[in-house]
């Protein structure tokens, strides 16, 4: 006898996303009890991440049931395109009217903000894009996971696992979330103390910013356009 589904979680995937933004929380969601996870896109065609990983959607936007949790990951140039994609933004707005939790990982919060779903809330983002999130009138937090009412947002990339566990505790209780953490042996002990701009130092921060300069600039332009449209 199968357990009844209590929570429907929709994870929006799209071309050019950062795969760990999606697969990190998905690993947590997949072992949550009484939970059904949908991988959502416009079609059921394979979606290729920025890193070249291909993922098969399980539901289209048009076939998606009302969700308890709406989640969108961040990405490389794909994230910039999603901020300007009318169909994606309309889907987020539609599901956002009824979802119990509206969530994101990394620069996915920029996409939520472009859809008008974070204004008046506090949220997290990848550290290199925090100033852009502020342009939407969002109060930006620097924690790994920021919870503001029914908005739960994770910081950059690996914070998606932390985010998934926080959501698991909200839906299934702290004891279940702890069990999942133990099953995943999520016990981070990074080899270097360089995982945040505060700890990495100015020289390393500048190298990363230089490496991602094209994406940061493209995202800044998309943010300006989306913020101006939201004010008009």
- Catalytic site residue from 64, 71, 106, 125: 106
The arithmetic mean of pLDDT across residues 88-98, rounded, is: 98
The arithmetic mean of pLDDT across residues 165-181, rounded, is: 98
Residue appearing with tokens 């390393």: 204
Residue appearing with tokens 């940061």: 216
Which band of pLDDT confidence, cut at 50, 70 and 90, is reported for residue 138? very high
Domain ranges of the chain: 7-231
Cα–Cα distances in angstroms (integers) from residue 157 to residues 104, 106, 171, in the given order: 11, 6, 22
The arithmetic mean of pLDDT across residues 119-146, rounded, is: 97
Q: Which DSSP string do the residues of 150-166 spell out, in sequence order?
A: TEEEE-STTHHHHHHHH
Q: Is the pLDDT of residue 213 over 70?
A: yes
In this predicted model, what pLDDT tens digit does every residue of 61-74 receive, in sequence order?
Answer: 999 999 999 999 99
User: Can you give the pLDDT at residue 227?
Assistant: 87
Pairing of strands 101-105, 151-154: parallel
Query: What tokens appear for 126 in the block?
Result: 């990848």
User: Can you give the pLDDT at residue 2?
Assistant: 62
User: Can you give the pLDDT at residue 231?
Assistant: 65
Q: Is the pLDDT of residue 96 over 90?
A: yes
Determine the Cα angle at 188 with ends 183 and 193, to 5°.
175
The arithmetic mean of pLDDT across residues 21-46, rounded, is: 98
Q: What residues have CB less than 8 Å from 58, skipping those under 6 apart?
A: 38, 39, 40, 44
CATH architecture type of domain 7-231: 3-Layer(aba) Sandwich (3.40)
Q: Is the pLDDT of residue 1 over 80?
A: no
Q: From 49, 50, 24, 26, select the one nearest 159 (Cα to Cα).
A: 24
The arithmetic mean of pLDDT across residues 169-175, rounded, is: 98
Mean pLDDT of all residues belonging to the chain? 96
User: Can you give the pLDDT at residue 232?
Assistant: 58
Do the beta carbons of residue 158 and residue 173 sit within 8 Å? no
Q: Is the pLDDT of residue 144 over 70?
A: yes
Q: Is 106 a catalytic residue?
A: yes
């Amino acid at each position: 006898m199968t357990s009844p589904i209590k929570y429907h979680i929709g994870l929006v995937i799209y071309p050019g996303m950062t795969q760990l933004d999606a697969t990190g929380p998905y690993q947590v969601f997949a072992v949550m009890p009484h939970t059904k996870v949908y991988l959502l896109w416009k079609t059921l065609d394979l979606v290729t991440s920025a890193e070249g990983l291909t993922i098969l959607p399980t539901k289209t936007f048009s076939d998606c049931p009302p969700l308890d949790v709406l989640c969108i990951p961040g990405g490389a140039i794909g994230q910039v395109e999603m901020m300007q994609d009318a169909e994606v933004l309309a889907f987020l707005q539609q599901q956002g009217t009824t979802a119990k939790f509206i969530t994101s990982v990394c620069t996915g919060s920029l996409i939520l903000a472009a859809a008008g779903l974070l204004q008046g809330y506090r949220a997290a983002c990848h550290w290199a894009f925090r100033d852009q999130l502020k342009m939407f009138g969002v109060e930006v937090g620097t924690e790994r996971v920021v919870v503001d009412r029914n908005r739960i947002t994770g910081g950059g990339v690996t914070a998606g696992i932390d985010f998934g566990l926080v959501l698991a505790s909200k839906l299934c209780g702290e004891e279940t979330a702890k069990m999942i953490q133990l099953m995943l042996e999520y016990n981070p002990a990074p080899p270097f103390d360089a995982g945040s701009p505060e700890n990495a130092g100015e020289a390393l921060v500048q190298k990363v910013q230089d490496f991602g300069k094209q994406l940061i600039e493209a995202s800044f332009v998309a943010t300006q356009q989306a913020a101006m449209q939201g004010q008009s």
